[in-house]
Structure 1
Amino acid sequence: MNPLKLGRLRQITNPESLRYKLLVRMLLILSFILLIIGILQYFVMKDFLYRNESESLMSRLMSMPVGMILNEDSLPSPPQGEGDQSRFLFMEDFSLALIDTSGNYKDLLNEQDLQSPEISKAEYQNLKFALINHQPLEPMVVKNKKGQEQLLVFRPLGRGNERSGQLLQMGTTTSHLHKVLWQQLLTFIVLSIMALAAGLAIYFSVIRKTLLPLSTMVNAVKNINAANLAEKIPHHQGQEEIDRLADSFNEMLTRLDISFEHEKEAKEQMRRFIADASHELRTPLTSIHGYLEVLLRGAAERPEQLYLALRSIHGESKRIIKLVEELLLLAKLDRAPELSLTETDLAQLIQEMEPQLYFLAGNRTVELQLEENLTGSVDQDKIKQVILNLFHNAVQHTDSESGVIHLSLHGDHNRHLVISIADNGPGISKENLFHIFDRFYRIDHSRTRQNGGAGLGLSITKSIVEAHGGQVDVESQVDEGSVFTVSIPLKQVERLTQQ
């Protein structure tokens, strides 16, 4: 057998297969429907045959010459050559009996093979009640003493309303009716089996086409792995349920892709953190190690060299502590920034920082231009750190005597909170401007080393501003100075109207 056909056959005959379950359930449902139809057909057909036979029997009974019947004790067998009426009366396919007013039976065809059955007293009383009330006499199905089932009809004797109370009963066997019913039932069973067989033949083609989108989806899923999560399953396949399943699966793939990207990014951040930390810690640790070697070689016995080494070790240890704190802060900002937002008057916040800013500036000129009544929902400590980082960066790159630092706060027409810090330093070249916010990037390595900078201040500033939903930009011209601008959108700030 063809391996492909063998595989399909195994799928169909596998109890865990969807095709097998659909096939079994389809057969059960179809068989149940056919069974119900067969039962209904049997009873409807039976009622139709019995009613039709009773009408035919009643027509025959009503056409009998009643006068001749009442004048004879029993009707003899018809002689040869009698007329049509005699041949009509004496037929072997029915029984005939007379019921008097007391309910006594008289079989009028006692020489015939079909013996007339006797109804019960209760049934006779029901007939009398119907007779008195001029109601129709309903047919009955009764067995005679020989066990032959007969369909009985009744005719009251008398003319018009002058009824004698006697009943004429005619019956016929129901065997031929049962024969017709069983023939009909057998025909229905054969047709039902043929219908089931035809249904099975059609089923395999229909179910294959119906489950084709699902098979396509299964094959697509087999080809998806961690390397190609961006691939998606076609979601317009003409079946609502399959399309919804495909959409849900594609959404799951998107979430997995995002999760993997986050994991990849987290690993990359950890790798970068370790590389940056090891790179930046190497210099101060090397310095500390060198000073300790000097002390061990005898410098500890000379007070001037001892104090110089201790001051240097103390300075390098402060640099290490600051570096570790900044690295930990960056790691937190990279992972999930946690901001403690409070409604803050930004002008008042900067005014509180004035003593610290003037201390950092030294002899440099500091100019403040603050717009009043500008309140924002910000993390006060984080915004202070942003201002200090940018202000300290301006201090490092301006002359200690002629340097000018301008700090302004205002709200722009795009309804953003804008903090700007400008200086008259040497400016930043275009090649350096592109990397200014990169971690551990320093334009002047000697000066930043001397002032304890590790090149993390601007990176921290950018992370804090972005955590607030804003952005930080820089504009600079060589020999003309630089301007750092922090912009936070309106969703974080609100301008208060003057009272």
Structure 2
Amino acid sequence: MPSLRALPSLRVLPGFLGRPRPPRLLRTRLVLCVLALIAVVAAVIGTVTTISLHSHLYRQLDDQLAEVAVRAAGPGPPGHGAPPDGDRLRFLTMGGQPLGTVGAVAPSGSGGSGRDSGGTKVLRAGISVQDDSAPTGHGVAVEPLPQEQRSALAHAPRDGEPHTAELPGEGTYRVRSVPVDGGTLLVGLPASGVQDTVSTLVVTEVCVACAGLIAAALVGTASVRLALRPLARVAQTATRVSRLPLHEGEVRLRERVPLRDTDPRSEVGQVAAALNRMLGHVGAALAARHESETRVRRFVADASHELRTPLASIRGYAELTRRGREEVGPQTRYALARVEAESERMTDLVEDLLLLARLDAGRPLSRSEVDLSALVVDAVSDSRAAGPDHRWQLDLPDIPVVVPGDAARLRQVLANLLTNARTHTPEGTVVTARLRHVPAAPGLPPPPDGGAPSGTAEIRVEDDGPGIPAEALPVVFERFARADASRSRAQGSTGLGLAIVRAVVAAHGGRVSAHSSPGRTVFTVGLPLGEGRAAAPPTPADDPPDPGGTAPVHERPPGAPPSDCA
């Protein structure tokens, strides 16, 4: 059995091999259906007309053939009596039939099956041709037929009915036999006129049908396009709605299908009216959702703000009691220490919630030129001090990367990412902080002020720990998100660190993403450089110290490996 590889014909049949065909527009399908119907109707009409004309012309030819046969078998000219057998072909010169008429005299009893020395028993056979010098006065002469044409006539049936015969070199003939004294007379008329008329009709029908299809395609395309304009406006409205950010924030869903396209008497109008009703319900639901979110955010912000003072008081009184002059037992001291620790943790949680509430409310951040290289170095230094059992590496460009933003919040972003890597990976894990400048892609539009787009500052925090479970990765930036034990919150994290990272980065117009697999987890932060400079040449005084006590990181030669700060 041949394999599919050995069947080249299958390569030209993608539709039969499961590959989906490209979809066609509705107006294209409608026009094609109309054209197919017109083509079928034109084919049926043309076929019926051709068959009818063919039958009618052949009936006329057969009637003419019968008249010629009667004249050929009848008596000769007045006063001459019946023509002898040798003059049976004289009718060919008498007129009354078209040029090219053939006649043949066969002996009685041959029946088309007898054979003479030439292969067929036909005594005489001739064809009428134009000859102005002929003595008959009609300008017609009789030319003998060659042997192959005589053989074709001899095989014609002798039943007195008209039949079609092919004469080599002369074409198609209608032949009829007439009994005469002592034999059979065969008379034939050329059918070329009938065939030419039918062929001309077929060509005319094909041309008219093609012209009609072209005209129908043009008119149908214009008519269908005009009829489907309301449906196109419905699709445009749905497309605009699909591009709206409906998942968060306040959404004013004002998109509606125009009223002129909502006529309930048409199918498109019914669809448009239903879409408008659905958009109204969705808009009401979005407004209710936004109002509920606003109340929740206001409550969180107010509660966080109000909780800061009592929490500070609790911490202060607990510390004051623990450090007082009065003797307290060990259990009381332990309880007071736990109260201070939990109050501090609660304070951090309240501060994080308050920050998220402010960011959700769209409160603007302070803007200044921030050197990300210095921030990364400081953050890695702090993380090294907090987690000496990890190995910390830096990978910085040769020149500092400067972005517009809030330095305190960007420092918090770096601290949260590094703390996340330190907290949820075992001892000995290598954590690398990378910073690089990603140039703007060619072809991007320039900023509104006319400056050139300068690209993006990209920060990556990478570790070779156990990784994030696949089911937890899509929600890793959600608030109070938890993963399994491989990245658990055993150290008492609030679960808001990565949520704050996403909110702060979004407030700076950037993006953040996470990719994880066993042995490699990467958090990527992209911050727009705006129209600012990607980097500025450093001065010796600007070089911060390396966390591991090595040479300044800005002096790392291009292409050198990351510096190990462990």
TM-score (ref. length: structure 1):
0.42
- Bigger radius of gyration among the two: 1
TM-score (ref. length: structure 2):
0.38
- Which of the pair is proportionally richer in helix? 1
